[in-house]
Amino acid sequence: MSRYTQTVSINFTGGIISPGHLLTILDITVAARVSKVQFGLRQQLLIEVPGKYYDQFEAACRREQIPFYAHGIAPNITSSYPAAGIFINDGWLTEGIYKDIFALFDYIPGMKVNICDNRQTFTPFFSGHINWIAAGPAHYWYLFIRFPKSSRLFAWPDLIYTNHIAQVSQCVEALLAATPDIDNERLYAAVIAQLEYTSKPVTTELELPMFHLPYYEGFNRHENHYWLGIYRRDQEFSVAFLRNLCNICLETKTGQIYATSWKSLIIKNIAPEHRRLWDYVLGKYGINVRHAANELNWYVEDNSEDALIIKRHIIRHFDNADVRTYGLCFSIRINPGNNCFGSIIISKQEDKFKSRLKGHHRYDISYTQDFNPNSGTLLVYRAGVAKEHLGPYITSLCREFYENSALTDPLITYVAGQQTVTAAKPVEKIVHQCVRCLTIYDETVGDPDQAIAPGTTFEQLPDTYLCSLCDAPLYNFAMVPATSLGWLGGGQD
């Protein structure tokens, strides 16, 4: 029996997955004797098809008109669409506009195209070759070109109108493919010579928000519904589980599933009365949706068991040392040339002696300028590190991030204020904050959605009370000064 398999990818433009479409794919996958699949960094489905059943799989996909590609050939259009409505709640870039943009692409990009809202930090901005980032004026976009096989980034001199995104992308890709060594000025001149597009000059440089990875797992309340994030530690999703997931979506008319850049899934707009169905199927397949935050902020190469082994090794050290990683994200590069997104990057050195002993492997630890994962500037922290020493070195680098943070030290500010203020201070207001998702419980407001009246102190809450956003229990709340949060009361932000 042949053990040969071939990895194929099926693209979901922008990360949007129709449950019915996915169910059809999964039925074909089952017939090809595949029991587990993965989702890739670029929001696509990855399937290891056994060689014995490859022709059958190909014929079924052709019959159902489902295009698929050898992994890496068509790298998918990625977007921040999965964050819309849950991590981004205002602005001109709506879900409808995303879909209008995707519909403009009447060709299959061979280069990586990213389409992102400028206010989010959930999806990488510059991991593509052609990176579109929403500007302040409605329907205008910044364009950044990252030249293939390099970290060179070219900021386009114009803001480009929404309707021309696909057209400009196709032209840029063709020019880069034909002339790989083309410089910035010649690329710009060649595009404007070939195309007429609506634009405005760039008068204000793009300012990106400080990186913060929102907690994207578990049940989370949003307005009158829930959204559910599902992450798998081994990056593998059972086909049987996914088929059940699709059937629930279809039966409850939940709508769409979203693949994220963190190899996870998000299901939006789950009605409260349907939550029990999701709890049941999660329990049936033993799906945990309460992983620690320091396990979720990793950007790991596709199809790399070696990278997952290194990740697990470092996380075990984080857990033992009780390391804080908030505000950071990590990536692991096993294969040379892969461009992974991260504040701290662990790269496997090329093994000149081709040793099969993994104990001989060495790794370089780097970090991005200001620990900004969207920065293209890499600074070497340690080189030639053995696997067993990665945890301690990266822990030290995490501490350096907090010690050298650009944020003003609140303790210094507080002491300076104490020295200058002589009048009596009012008693400082204390609120309770969920340590998992940072939601605030303010007794002056209560929690109307859970029938908690204004004026109910935290101590008076029933033992069954759960966080209104992430359903964390009472013991997950900590007392914090309201002023340290910029909290003035009068509602939840």
Tens digit of pLDDT per residue, the chain (493 long)?
456 899 999 999 999 999 999 999 999 999 999 999 999 999 999 999 999 999 999 999 999 999 999 988 999 999 999 999 999 888 899 999 999 999 999 999 999 999 999 999 999 999 999 999 999 999 999 999 999 888 789 999 999 999 999 999 999 999 999 999 999 999 999 999 999 999 999 999 999 998 999 999 999 998 889 999 999 999 999 999 999 999 999 999 988 899 999 999 999 999 999 999 999 999 999 999 999 999 999 999 998 999 999 999 999 999 999 999 999 999 999 987 667 799 999 999 987 656 666 667 999 999 998 899 988 788 999 999 999 999 999 999 999 998 877 444 444 444 444 444 333 344 456 778 887 777 888 888 888 888 888 888 888 888 888 888 888 888 778 777 665 454 444 333 3
Of 43, 47, 106, 103, the closest CA to residue 77 belongs to 43
Q: Which fold, 295-403?
A: Sulfite Reductase Hemoprotein; domain 1 (3.30.413)
- Burial of 154 from C-beta contacts in 10 A (0-12 / 13-18 / 19+): middle
Domain boundaries, the chain: 88-201, 218-294, 295-403, 421-485
Phi and psi, residue 20, nearest 5°: -65, -40
Cβ contacts of residue 31 below 8 Å, gap of 6+? 53, 56, 57, 60
**At residue 426, what are phi and psi to the nearest 5 degrees?**
-70, 155
Q: How far is it, in rounded angstroms, from Cα 93 to Cα 79? A: 12
Helix (H, G, I), strand (E, B) or coil at 11: strand
Superfamily classification of domain 218-294: Sulfite Reductase Hemoprotein;Domain 2 (3.90.480.10)
| Residue 91 vs residues 149, 172, 203, 384: alpha-carbon distances, Å | 34, 28, 20, 46
Q: Do domains 218-294 and 421-485 have the same CATH topology?
A: no
H and E: helices and strands count for the chain: 11, 25
User: What CATH number labels 421-485?
Assistant: 2.20.28.10
Q: Structure pTM?
A: 0.81
